[in-house]
Amino acid sequence: MRWGCSFRRSTAEAWSAAARKHGLSLSSVSRHLTALEERIGTRLVVRTTRMLALTEAGRAYYERSKRLLAEIDELEAGLTADATTPMGRLVIYGPTLFGRVFMLPLLARFLIQYPKVSLDVTLLDRPINLVEEGVDVAVRIGSIEDSSLIVRKLGALRWVVAASPEYVATHGEPRHPSELSGHHCLVYSQLSISAEWQMLDDNGRPAHVQVPVRMRSNTLDGVIAAAIEGAGLVYAPAWSVAHHVSAGRLKIVLSDFELPGRDINLIFTHNRLLAGKVRALIDFFVENLSDVNFDTVPPYGAVSQLDAASA
């Protein structure tokens, strides 16, 4: 309890001031003080019929408490300001490819709009635990199994199989996923293991198709460049080959067996009492990505190095 009254008054004046401030009776104020003394095990106030006087322990307790309460007031004021004015550090996670093309240019614009916010951005392709890793907001592609997370869908992302006209002219165009075993496949992967491409089977169900690896690269630009040169088929996000398809350098094949677009989800852990910086970022993402065509490179400057080199 914050007494906020002088202890060099008469007993009645001091008790009355504390009672008025907190809406308590005089007896309640006395009981609170007695309970505090019993809890900490020392006398804080010497009571006489005419005066209240702080003991040495009471004065130390009073002065330290004033400083602590002032710090609490300052902290609460700062939190209240942050709830309305975005400020402070935000931790953001996202998928590597999607993050490079769609998130990073957008986050640069967010920093310009909110100069009191700083960002800590990590792009990786592994599952994360938002609470354990201290993440404020993350973008995840695919289904979300954790029902405790708040999810905002931003759109959907398609993956396609593409080849150059020269490759198709030489090796033929595959008409069914089973024919991929007889083709040269260019695989984007971080793992040095056998490759699987996700496609629909004859019954329209998702299936994993084993493909022979003619070339593997941990960079998407590498396998797309090889596909443009006619080295084989590439399995890639639709946005990454859209420019080349429109320019005639690549063509989409096996489109009848494409999986439906995978959901692009914005995820976070709280829906109420969000800090101003978190709510501002969520609103910014939704406003700027909800109407984006994720089959093409976004219009705000995120053009891949390969596109720029090929233009």
Mean pLDDT of the residues in the chain: 83
> How is 51-86 classified by DSSP, letter by letter?
-EEE-HHHHHHHHHHHHHHHHHHHHHHHHHHHHHS-
Phi-psi region of 123 (alpha: psi -120 to 50; beta: other; left: phi over 0): beta
Per-residue pLDDT of 173-195, as tens digits, reads 999 999 999 999 999 986 666 68
C-alpha triplet 92, 94, 97: angle, nearest 5° = 145
Residues of the chain with pLDDT under 70: 1-15, 49-51, 70-71, 73-84, 190-194, 271-273, 297-311
Per-residue pLDDT of 148-178, as tens digits, reads 788 899 999 999 999 999 999 999 999 999 9
pTM: 0.63
- Tokens read off for 114: 């909110």
In degrees and rounded to multiples of 5, residue 187 shows phi and psi of: -110, 125
Structural domains in the chain, CATH included, are: 11-84 (1.10.10.10), 88-157+261-310 (3.40.190.10), 159-257 (3.40.190.10)
CA 292 – CA 299 distance, rounded (Å): 9
Q: At which residue do the structure tokens 């996000």 appear?
A: 237
